[in-house]
Amino acid sequence: MEIEGQATVKESQPPKFALLVDSEHKATEFHLFSSAAPHMRAFHLSWISFFSCFVSTFAAPPLLPIIRDNLNLTATDIGNAGVASVSGAVFARIAMGTACDLFGPRLASASLILLTAPAVYFTSIASSPISFLLVRFFTGFSLATFVSAQFWMSSMFSGPVVGTANGVAAGWGNLGGGATQLIMPLVFSLIRDIGAVKFTAWRVAFFIPALFQTLSAFAILIFGQDLPDGNYQRLQNSGNKQKDKFSRVFYHGITNYRGWILALTYGYCFGVELTVDNIIAEYFYDRFNLKLHTAGIIAASFGLANIVSRPAGGVLSDMMAKRFGMRGRLWALWAVQTLGGVFCIILGQVGSLTASIVVMIVFSVFVQAACGLTFGVVPFVSRRSLGVISGMTGGGGNVGAVLTQLIFFKGSKYSKETGITLMGVMIVCCTLPIFLIYFPQWGGMFCGPSSEKIATEEDYYLSEWSSKEQGKGLHQASLKFADNSRSERGRRVHSQTLPSNATPSANV
């Protein structure tokens, strides 16, 4: 079926949607305070459920000073559990991209959330280092909802706003990692004040994130839908949706070296964010002799910065692209992430409480903005295999979290402050590969676009389709995308090549 041009026009029939939509019925505007079905409703369901998964995954760290005494954990046990909590999602994120393709983001995310909820309930009855590790491992799988959230936003929102939708959904979801550091100590204190003993109070407290997670999954199933026009099953039955071949999509994703580089670098912004979520409360509690409650508040401010910093990264990426194109996006990503590494080094060095808090907040802003900036580049790496590239990058984030925790925060080899400094050094080193990312049509950080003949956007995106597939007309969407992506040339774009609505494409 031929798709109409992506003109931003109102439907000629009486408007079915509360927002302006394009020809695919994807919204072209983003109204944060509306929950109109299906677009804004999908946005709110998406970020709230992702938020609940973050709350559950990082519910244990703020209560570790109690849990480590109850379960007789050593520093090694704690480190192992921290690694386990983020390692499950490495493969789950890659698998989730496929599941969204096959079943739709609504069923895929709700299923994952309901299947991991038991792990959170069972945390209440953990009684040994091994059972603690297992519950954290299985709870961590729920972080794969990141991919379904991004996929859902990309299905509901069109070019001009998809970056904002994705940035806010991801940022507000990541907020859960910060909010949990406030919520869990509070819930624990309330339950303890009612009369429960410490070692029982923390167990009861875990029912809160577990119930929140269960209810958010129900909300998705009851109120959500996959696409503006309906759910996958109905659309596939009526023949309105094409299916691509999984093996080809997968192949073109994993053979794109840029996807691997971004997976590595995302490990040193998002991965570091996950690591810090795991260790920061204990760090402040132990190093500065604070009360549990206070350490929780400080640790929370790290994750809470996500409310603006990750979306701001996305906005910065778009601003750089308007002027300097893709090269601007890459430079901004490298600079912001490197600065994040520098502030991480400083954080491990400062010894006073006030300085630590200030440096930590600055560090959090840079690290989270880098996450937003990464997903300013990801949509352009591949059009056919966007899901696989997003999943690889997302999975790479978790690999980074696993690596940093294994190397620096397991056992008693390094004190926490030394570990933090060394992690900062690793961030700076592992951000350097961004120098190697090169798009023939736009250039890289140090080189301009190629002057050879195979250097247009069409050449780049159509190289993912064989001539046979092009003969069948399967490449039409990529062709459209290539045309729209010409804005990544920056100010050099000639106005006549742009249809009036083509957008300096925001992060998809």
Q: How far is the CB of 9 from another protein (least distance, A)?
A: 30
111 is a site residue for another protein (CB under 8 A): yes
For another protein, the binding residues in 357-396 under the rule CB under 8 A are 357-358, 361
Stretch that binds another protein, among 11-19, 37-45, 80-88, 112-120 (CB under 8 A): 112-120
CB neighbourhood size of 118 (10 A) = 14
446 is a site residue for another protein (CB under 8 A): no
What is the distance between the alpha carbons of residues 93 and 226, in angstroms, rounded to a whole number? 18
Distance set, CA 230 to CA 104, 225, 236, 444, 476 (Å): 10, 6, 10, 40, 23
Query: Quick one: 294 or 463, whose CB is closer to another protein?
Result: 294
202 is a site residue for another protein (CB under 8 A): yes
Q: Token digits for 394?
A: 């997302």
Stretch that binds another protein, among 10-18, 120-128, 273-281, 473-481 (CB under 8 A): 120-128
Give the type of residue at 31.
H
The correct pick among 10, 11, 74, 257 for binding another protein (CB under 8 A) is: 74
What is the distance between the alpha carbons of residues 93 and 99, in angstroms, rounded to a whole number? 10
The correct pick among 193, 197, 239, 500 for binding another protein (CB under 8 A) is: 197
Residue 104 DSSP label: -
Q: How far is the CB of 73 from another protein (least distance, A)?
A: 8
Q: How far is the CB of 456 from another protein (least distance, A)?
A: 43
CB neighbourhood size of 500 (10 A) = 7
CA atoms 32, 38, 39, 42: torsion sign? positive
Q: How far is the CB of 72 from another protein (least distance, A)?
A: 5
114 is a site residue for another protein (CB under 8 A): yes
Three-class SS state of 437: coil
Query: Quick one: 412 or 496, whose CB is closer to another protein?
Result: 412
Residue with tokens 């895929």: 108
Quick one: angle between helices 207-223 and 159-194, nearest 10?
140
Stretch that binds another protein, among 231-239, 242-250, 392-400, 483-491 (CB under 8 A): 231-239
121 is a site residue for another protein (CB under 8 A): yes
Give the type of residue at 455.
A
Q: Are 229 and 25 in contact (CB under 8 A)?
A: yes
Give the distance between the most distant pair of CA atoms in the chain. 76
Query: Quick one: 207 or 250, whose CB is closer to another protein?
Result: 207
The correct pick among 18, 75, 95, 493 for binding another protein (CB under 8 A) is: 75
Q: How many residues does the chain have?
A: 508
65 is a site residue for another protein (CB under 8 A): yes
Query: Quick one: 212 or 270, whose CB is closer to another protein?
Result: 212
20 is a site residue for another protein (CB under 8 A): no
Best CA proximity match to 427, nearest among 305, 271, 257, 313: 271
Site string for another protein, 249-288 (x = CB under 8 A): ---------------------------------x---x-x
Query: Quick one: 203 or 475, whose CB is closer to another protein?
Result: 203
Q: Are 171 and 368 in contact (CB under 8 A)?
A: yes
Q: CB-based contacts of 349: which residues, under 8 Å, 6+ apart?
A: 417, 421
Stretch that binds another protein, among 251-259, 292-300, 320-328, 391-399 (CB under 8 A): 292-300
- Residues paired with 27 in a beta bridge: 21, 157
Q: Token digits for 260?
A: 């691997």
Q: How far is the CB of 200 from another protein (least distance, A)?
A: 4
Q: CB-based contacts of 374: which residues, under 8 Å, 6+ apart?
A: 262, 265, 266, 269, 270, 313, 333, 393
Q: Token digits for 395?
A: 């999975």
Stretch that binds another protein, among 1-9, 31-39, 69-77, 341-349 (CB under 8 A): 69-77
Q: How far is the CB of 112 from another protein (least distance, A)?
A: 10
Query: Quick one: 199 or 257, whose CB is closer to another protein?
Result: 199
204 is a site residue for another protein (CB under 8 A): yes
Size of the site for another protein (CB under 8 A): 55
240 is a site residue for another protein (CB under 8 A): no
467 is a site residue for another protein (CB under 8 A): no
The correct pick among 36, 115, 130, 429 for binding another protein (CB under 8 A) is: 115
289 is a site residue for another protein (CB under 8 A): yes
What is the distance between the alpha carbons of residues 104 and 160, in angstroms, rounded to a whole number? 23
For another protein, the binding residues in 91-110 under the rule CB under 8 A are 107, 110
Q: How far is the CB of 134 from another protein (least distance, A)?
A: 14
Task: Tell me how far apart the terminal alpha carbons of the chain are, to the nearest angstrom.
Answer: 24
Q: CB-based contacts of 174: which residues, under 8 Å, 6+ apart?
A: 54, 273, 303, 306, 310, 368, 371
Please return the burial class of 163, using the count of CB atoms within 10 Å of its CB with bins 0-12, 13-18 and 19+. buried
Report the interface residues with another protein, using CB under 8 A: 65, 68-70, 72, 74-76, 107, 110-111, 114-115, 117-118, 121-122, 124-125, 127, 197-200, 202-204, 207, 210-211, 214, 217-218, 221, 233-234, 237, 282, 286, 288-291, 294, 297-298, 301, 353-354, 357-358, 361, 411-412, 415
